Chains A and B, each alone.
Chain A
Amino acid sequence: MDTPDALMIRDLTKSYPTRTGARVEILRIPALGLAPGQQVALRGESGLGKTTLLQIIAGILEPDGGSVSVGGAAVTGVSEARRDRIRAERMGYIFQTFNLLQGLTALENVDLGLAFGRGADPAAARAALERVGLAHRAHFHPRQLSTGQQQRVAIARALANRPCLILADEPTGNLDAPRSREVVQLLRESASALGAALLVASHDPAVLGAFEDVVDLAALNQAPRQAEVG
């Protein structure tokens, strides 16, 4: 039996309403797929729709049309509860600003990632922290960690559920160059170890240079620039 694609996008469109009531189409992606374990960097300048695309893949936003499936499970055309479930169980999401809960410790933040997927498991959360080299900071709060350490906690949280797809939105945007290299390397190694596909959206040449597969969103996106529809 074939393993389903980690990500499959077909005929995806997304538009936003303007103040005049007309709609601006910002994404029109005929096809994009990631095989299990494939690692791809998505190049694109700010405002091109990288975050929107990642949020559609994650089921946070709904597209106007087209289909998205992750690990063989449809993310589009299903209920919000189902999308939440797929996001929790099959995806790991890493943000530019880490988005850790400040009131929780590093361990609790990672356990939070598990809570909505495989179920809260402090031992598994600690193991995930160990994999990113932060077991000794398990009971530190995010404000007590460096930015590089915070992003590593976020990576541990994203990987804790052993997802089949990892989405990273400008993961090095808040890090200096050495930390950026560390984080990208950690991301790639961790995804490889899990056999998870990795899609990293970035405009940082240093990040993009670390990937063999780089997809240019401007080329992939067929939406007319600033075109109004409807």
Chain B
Amino acid sequence: MLFLLIRRSLRQHLVSTAVAVLLVALGLGLILSVWVVRAQAEQGFARSASGFDAVLGARGSKLQLVLNGLFHQESSPGNVTAEDFQDVKALPFVDRAIPIVVGDNFRGVRLVGVSDDWFHDLEYAPGHTYGVEPGGRPFQPGRKEAVVGSLAAHQLGWSVGTSFHPFHGLDYDPNAQHSESFTVVGVLAPTGTPADRVIWVPLEGVQRLGGHDPAAFTELSAVLIRFKPGAQAAGFMLDQRYNRQGRRLTLAWPVASILADLFSKFAWFEQALQALATMVAVVAGTSVFSSVYSSMSARRRDLAILRAVGAHRSFLIAAVLGEAACIGLLGCALGFGLYGLIATTVQELLRARMGVLFEPWAWNPSMAWGPALMLGLSLAAGAVPAWRAYRLSVADGLAPLS
């Protein structure tokens, strides 16, 4: 009977109920979006960079080096010589040093020249190595061959055997097409990292393309570095060598800290969104209060009738709080749906633009405290009307009609 009364009351005040439910949904959707998207984006970026400890590049911004070397964004601040690469590769605490060259694209999809080490037991995440989908193979050094990232292959509609003529520069210019042709020999197995959205070619393939400066044929855009396990001091030593004592090169290390700096630059925006989400949550609470209060006032006679047929005061409290709780629960369910929409959009955006894997439904504490907060707010908003219902005088409630 309690649920029947709650259901009918919500239906009788459909408009105010719907507004309150929508506001609760908006509040929870925003809370989840702000807290989960931020956490997931940070994790996604960190995961994408977890295969390397540092990036060595020309003197300049560390962030630019990380974005260019690991996320295939921005341009390279300059070049690194082959000697610099050999020097760092020879250091005893360096496990892997992978040279990369950028500077060409195919219709906006970046070509990245890399040594064939890329396909030899290189882990992009613990326990996960780069590999080629069945039917393909890694490129041969020095040949005009390419392994295309899974996202890029999907975007371009390429498969093994596709030939293409790259374009000069990082931005697509239809008038700057190279005459050389590359052939796709493999599609990179999906990694959920930015590696999925570029075209991988042999180092020399990019270095020696027509129109490139012959003097820079051996130069590199950056060197991706991974230290040997346990080499705790390696980063400090290289930081001292390149960043403090040297003048030509920059070591972007530690990558996680540089990414954290990147996110901290957007802290003000995140705080603004948090404030907005909090405000919407408060407005939602007020709306639940308004809806339940007006519903309770309009049903004053109904509540008196319930008492007259034997309902105890506690039943009225349960009816009013139940109504508030239903609004809160419906709003939370809708809020998760709204978050799903927002998160899916962000997921697609991050995948397409950055190649960063975003898991909308991975556990985040806000998925527990967000609904609990909205439900708590709804119940708190229902407390005053519930108290009024509890205090209702049956005789007064029936008075005008008896």
Contact = CB atoms under 8 A, between A and B. Distances in A.
Nearest to B400: A97
B78 to A, nearest CB: 75
Interface stretch (B54-62, B213-221, B301-309): B301-309
B134 to A, nearest CB: 63
Contacts, number: 74
A99 B1 contact: no
A97 B312 CA distance: 22
B157 to A, nearest CB: 59
A95 B310 contact: no
Contacts of A55: 394-395, 402
Interface string A76-100: 0000110011011100010111011
A169 interface: yes
B310 A88 contact: yes
B308 A81 contact: no
A31 to B, nearest CB: 24
A170 B401 CA distance: 11
A96 B401 contact: yes
B312 A95 contact: no
A166 to B, nearest CB: 13
A104 interface: yes
A209 B11 CA distance: 44
A25 interface: no
Interface string B288-320: 000000000000011001111111110100000
B4 interface: yes
Interface in B111-157: none
A80 B401 contact: no
Interface in A68-120: 80-81, 84-85, 87-89, 93, 95-97, 99-104, 108, 111-113, 115-117, 120
A60 interface: yes
B402 A112 contact: no
Interface centre among A80, A85, A87, A103 (most CB of B within 10 A): A103
A157 interface: yes
Interface in B1-55: 1, 4-5, 8-9, 11-12
Contacts of A97: 401-402
Main secondary structure of the interface of B (DSSP, over half): helix
A51 interface: yes
A159 interface: no
A112 B398 contact: no
Contacts of A85: 310
B159 to A, nearest CB: 63
A85 B308 CA distance: 11
A24 B35 CA distance: 64
A58 B402 contact: no
Nearest to A119: B1
B4 A104 contact: yes
Given A99-B301, A101-B302, A103-B9, A116 B311 contact: yes
A186 interface: no
Given A95-B398, A96-B402, A88 B309 contact: yes
Given A97-B402, A101-B305, A103-B12, A84 B311 contact: yes
15 contacts: A55-B394, A55-B402, A60-B394, A60-B395, A80-B312, A85-B310, A88-B311, A95-B402, A97-B401, A99-B301, A101-B302, A103-B9, A112-B309, A113-B309, A120-B1
9 closest A-B pairs by beta carbon, nearest first, are A88-B310, A116-B310, A103-B8, A97-B401, A115-B1, A99-B305, A60-B394, A84-B312, A87-B310
Given A88-B310, A116-B310, 17 more contacts: A51-B402, A60-B307, A61-B395, A80-B312, A84-B307, A87-B309, A95-B398, A99-B401, A100-B305, A101-B8, A101-B306, A102-B12, A103-B5, A115-B1, A116-B315, A120-B1, A169-B402
Interface of B: 1, 4-5, 8-9, 11-12, 301-302, 305-313, 315, 394-395, 398, 401-402
Interface of A: 51, 55, 58, 60-61, 80-81, 84-85, 87-89, 93, 95-97, 99-104, 108, 111-113, 115-117, 120, 157, 169-170
